[in-house]
Amino acid sequence: MSSLSNAPSPGPPIVKIYLVRHGETQENKDLVIQGQLDTKLNETGLQQAALVAEVFKDVPLTAAFSSDLERARKTAESILKHHPSVRLVTQPELRERFMGDLQGRKVDRGRPKLEGMHVESSPDFIQRIMLWWDATIANNLSATPVDIDVVHVLIVSHGAFIATLVRTLFTDDIISSVDLELRDIRSCFNTSVTTIEMRRDKRGVLKKYSDISHLVMPVVRTNADESPQG
């Protein structure tokens, strides 16, 4: 970040955050807008969850949070099979954007109109995301003991949630990246891993975004829940 370019080093990262999108659902495959519908992982999604679990097999996770919707919770539970001592905390704040009357509808050509559809507005969605970030992540960074090793935190959520969080952290100058720019923060794929390293000063670095190198099968490239704007 330009404002810190000549400042002393604020220290090493103390928290590594792994943002994982849930595995595939049939609705993902069929381009159905899910929003906060409580849909289930399909067979491919279950396989994806097992594969992403292998990514974290040897990561010393110390905390785990998940959306309370089944598709996210089951993905998190698959990962935590390798970490039986880590308790999963489910949080409704991590749910996907509420898509109102569009939920359950298939995406047709173009972007559906949001007027009168009772969709969670972009400002309200961002506010919900950042209230969660501050309460769960940012406000706990400065309270971390100085002699603690790096804390590894798993967060399983949804595509639009993760993409919007990362874009907002970039825009608000909370995170930076050597390799990525704001325009690179696009669709977040099923069971992709996004890694952020945070420091005690509440600033951090985006190390990876939507990494699916662990998958051996094709992924759905369009997220119906990210299509509408408003």
Q: Is residue 28 marked as binding?
A: yes
How many C-beta atoms lie closer than 10 Å to residue 229's C-beta?
Answer: 10
103 and 39 Cβ atoms separated by less than 8 Å = no
Q: Is residue 70 marked as binding?
A: no
The strand pairing partners of 175, in sequence order, are 204
Q: Is residue 27 marked as binding?
A: yes
Residue 150, CB half-sphere, CA atoms under 13 Å: how many?
15
Q: Is residue 93 marked as binding?
A: no
| Tokens 């010393």, residue located | 60
Q: Strand, helix or coil at 108? A: coil
Is 96 among the catalytic positions? Answer: yes
Q: Is residue 71 marked as binding?
A: yes
Is 77 among the catalytic positions? Answer: no
Exactly one of 22, 83, 152, 158 is catalytic; name it.
Answer: 22
What sign does the dihedral 154-159-160-164 (CA atoms) show?
Answer: positive
Q: Is residue 48 marked as binding?
A: no
Q: Is residue 194 marked as binding?
A: no
Exactly one of 83, 96, 120, 226 is catalytic; name it.
Answer: 96
Residue 61 φ/ψ, nearest 5 degrees: -60, 140
Q: Strand, helix or coil at 205? A: strand
Residue ranges for the binding site for substrate?
21-28, 71
The residues annotated as belonging to the active site are: 22, 96
Residue ranges for the binding site?
21-28, 71
